[in-house]
Amino acid sequence: MRRVTRSRARRIRRASAPLAKRVEWMVMDQHALVAVDTSYRNGGRAAITSGAIGIAACGLIASAVLTRESWIPSARIWMLFDAFDIGVALQFLLLISVVFGLRTLSRQSQRSLSKATFAWGLGAVVFVVCLVLLGVGDKIVSNGFYTFPQGIFGIWLILVNWRLSGSLPAWLRWLGMIAGLGLVLAGIGFVGLCFVYPSQLVIPHPPMESIKEVDSVANTFFHQLLYASFLGVATLPIWTILTGFQLLKQRR
């Protein structure tokens, strides 16, 4: 009721304002609509492109994991790992526009994203891009280091999809939360493996030939957790593409 009253009072105030002032307000409203339209358009296109790259990256990592035959990866497996890392970097780089688009979308409802929540998502995406690029070739940092901020982004994804109850379909929000959970599992798996292989935190990262494989229950458990995290790796691109179409529908 309060929102309706304020909106009505605003319309009355504008109707009674001088002509020059009304024209100024109309121009300002038009600029605001153009800005919103641009946010949806950029976010939607970036989301669809990000999802397509993510699907290709899923194929690369699946091929690398399923065809790896030894502790020390072959040249072909390293090539697949590096291609996957570059794909993830591009995928998350495009997600920056999606974060902006979701912020614009959330402003349509009372449960809009706060500045802190927006900064959380944006910061996590930027850290993923930086760490995954530094991990290409497994020479500067571990090529799994990026999964930690990816897990933080997963928590953000769960929270945002929960809050966007009035802006996205329920089935799409649940898909986003499933994707977020998978990313959280990846982050937890990496943290656990850091206790098994402390060399994961060494910078520059030592070559695989100098790291001895550990045969322990903890190692097996955290690797199984990483395999389970493929749930997020596989569903995130699908959620991203479908969310991109939702953002494009919002264009005015």
pLDDT digits (tens, 9 = 90+) for 16-70: 556 554 444 343 444 433 345 677 888 899 999 999 999 999 999 999 999 988 8
CA distances for 246 relative to 8, 210, 243, angstroms = 30, 49, 5
Reference 144, options 197, 181, 96, 94; nearest CA is 197
DSSP letter at 207 equals P
List the structure tokens of 246.
Answer: 């939702």
- pLDDT tens digits, residue range 194-232? 999 999 999 999 988 888 989 999 999 999 999 999 889
Q: Report pLDDT for 249.
A: 85
- More confident site: 222 or 15: 222
Q: Report pLDDT for 3.
A: 41
Strands (E), 21-142: none
- pLDDT tens digits, residue range 165-204? 878 999 999 999 999 999 999 999 999 999 999 999 999 9
Helix (H) or strand (E) holding 161: helix 147-163
pLDDT classification of 130: cutoffs 50, 70, 90:
very high
Domain boundaries, the chain: 36-247
Give the percent of the chain with pLDDT over 90.
63
Q: For the residues 3-15, what does the mean pLDDT come to?
A: 49
Q: For the residues 230-241, what does the mean pLDDT come to?
A: 94
Flag whether pLDDT at 142 surpasses 80: yes
Q: What is the pTM of this model?
A: 0.83
Mean pLDDT of all residues in the chain?
Answer: 85
**Residue type present at position 61:** I
